[in-house]
Amino acid sequence: MANIPTPHINAQYGEIAETVIMAGDPLRAQFMAENFLKDPVQFNNVRGMLGFTGTWKGRRVSVMGHGMGIPSIGIYTYELFNFYGVQTIIRVGSAGAYDPDLHLGDLVLAMGACTDSNYGAQFGLPGTFAPIADFSLLRQAADFCEKQGFRYKVGNVLSSDVFYSDNPQTEKWRKMGVLAVEMEATALYMNAARAGRRALVINTISDHILTGEVTTSEQRRTTFTQMMEVALSLV
């Protein structure tokens, strides 16, 4: 196909599975490939954004990094949906908790994604688009969490363009029931909607905005395995 390899993914058509599990940190994707997949084969290393395809319980699946922020995940997911025939993308990422009932290691299934980004302006809609998850994936993920006894919540997250904010608005988002803040779900959900594909974001609480609790980069890379299990259960 004329559009591949793309500028950001050095793979041929067919080397990437129809379901891709993505993580912001490419080393988390590599960890998943090495610890969960059978016979993983690397298909991408452009800009260090590692991607692998293997099998999970006999089902073909790919794992790949997407980088930090809406512009980065926007590029990778657009190329996967529109050039590589990917049907489903599941993000396994970290998030900072707004909800006082959430704790480090808890899961948040992002039913919707608020944003302070202008990403949606490109679609020229005569109003505000509400980015949401694919319901079938969301329902299956929640059912799996229940069966496994994982601590989780389902609800709204904030996809922010700003990590170090000069004017944090934590309390305003919290008052509206937003559970946690991350940086990518909005773009993934919008790209999936535009392409007519499926997407779900599963976040692990890596820090708590209200209490100041934090995890290390090593913990975020290698110990957030519950969300990986949930994602793989959807393949």
Average pLDDT, the chain: 96
E-strand ranges in the chain read 19-23, 38-44, 51-56, 59-65, 88-97, 107-115, 152-159, 180-182, 198-208
pLDDT at 168: 86
Alpha-carbon distance of 202 to 181, in angstroms, equals: 12
Residue pLDDT, tens place only, 181-214: 999 999 999 999 999 999 999 999 999 988 999 9
Residue pLDDT, tens place only, 138-192: 999 999 999 999 999 999 999 999 999 999 899 999 999 999 999 999 999 999 9
Better-scored residue on pLDDT, 211 or 79:
79
Class of domain 19-233: alpha beta
pLDDT at 210: 87
DSSP string, 28-40: HHHHHHHHH-EEE
pLDDT at 222: 86
Tell me the pLDDT band of 217, cut-offs 50, 70 and 90.
confident
Residue pLDDT, tens place only, 23-39: 999 999 999 999 999 99
Region 75-91 average pLDDT: 98
pLDDT at 10: 96
Tell which residue, 1, 205, 208, has the closest CA to residue 109.
205
Percent of the chain predicted with pLDDT > 90: 93
Region 118-126 average pLDDT: 97
pLDDT at 221: 85
Region 37-43 average pLDDT: 98
Tell me the pLDDT band of 1, cut-offs 50, 70 and 90.
low
Alpha-carbon distance of 92 to 184, in angstroms, equals: 11
| Residues labelled as active-site residues | 207
